[in-house]
């Protein structure tokens, strides 16, 4: 059951996944090495939780504004100054994006929409059904706000410099930083 707050239309708990030290922030339609995906090194390995924050847009309906994920032992910090801008180049061509463990991301072909058991087919099955976001064995995926384009990737670090939270921002909104700090513990 999604949560609703004063700051967002709904918050959907996407569950948890195991991440290693490297994450790919990408549209799942892209194979490894595509120029508009971000390889994120220095991630704190372990259990990560993820959430999609949805906002209502007058002409578009309710859309995903943010995909946020954090290490289970590190709550998301509320202040905008705690976030580091890592990239503005998370490219989207299939109306979806996600955070995926690099060790489990397909080595070569991601598959096709019609191939329901392929990585890409599984991601599409999730984003084409409500709440348009969820977990796959490789990580987390969500529909991308208002569709294709390039989106920002933000991170938070612990005192040792490890990345302990990540967010893909599709639709920035007032109160976004406080809304993301709602996530304090494991699912």
pLDDT in tens, 64-86: 999 999 999 998 887 778 899 99
22 burial (CB, 10 Å; 0-12 / 13-18 / 19+) is: middle
Report yes or no on 185 lying in a domain: no
Report yes or no on 4 lying in a domain: no
Query: In the structure, what pLDDT confidence band is assigned to residue 182 with cuts at 50, 70 and 90?
Result: low
Q: What is the mean pLDDT of residues 97-114?
A: 90
How many angstroms separate the CA atoms of 187 and 184, rounded?
9
Q: Is the pLDDT of residue 7 over 70?
A: no
For residue 33, give every residue at least 6 positions away whose Cβ sits within 8 Å of its Cβ, in sequence order, or none.
none
Count: domains in the chain: 1
Domain coverage including residue 113: 10-180
Query: In the structure, what pLDDT confidence band is assigned to residue 113 with cuts at 50, 70 and 90?
Result: confident
How many angstroms separate the CA atoms of 45 and 60, rounded?
37
Report yes or no on 43 lying in a domain: yes
pLDDT in tens, 11-63: 899 999 999 999 999 999 999 999 999 999 999 999 999 999 998 887 778 88
Report yes or no on 115 lying in a domain: yes
How many angstroms separate the CA atoms of 151 and 26, rounded?
10
């Amino acid at each position: 059951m999604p949560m609703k707050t004063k700051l967002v239309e709904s918050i959907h708990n996407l569950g948890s996944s195991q991440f290693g030290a490297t994450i790919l922030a990408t549209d799942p339609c892209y194979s490894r090495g595509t120029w508009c995906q971000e390889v994120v090194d220095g991630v704190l390995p372990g259990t990560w939780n993820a959430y999609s924050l949805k906002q209502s847009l007058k002409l578009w309906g309710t859309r995903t504004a943010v995909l946020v994920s954090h290490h289970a032992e590190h709550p998301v910090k509320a202040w905008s100054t705690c976030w580091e801008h890592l990239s503005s180049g998370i490219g989207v061509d299939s109306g979806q994006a996600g955070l995926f463990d690099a060790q489990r991301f397909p080595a070569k072909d991601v598959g096709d929409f019609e191939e329901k058991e392929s990585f890409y087919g599984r991601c599409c099955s999730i984003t084409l059904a409500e709440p348009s976001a969820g977990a796959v064995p490789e990580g987390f995926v969500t529909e991308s706000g208002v569709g294709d384009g390039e989106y920002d990737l933000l991170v938070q670090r612990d005192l040792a410099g490890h990345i302990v939270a990540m967010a893909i921002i599709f639709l920035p909104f007032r109160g976004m930083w406080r809304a993301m700090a709602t996530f304090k513990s494991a699912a």
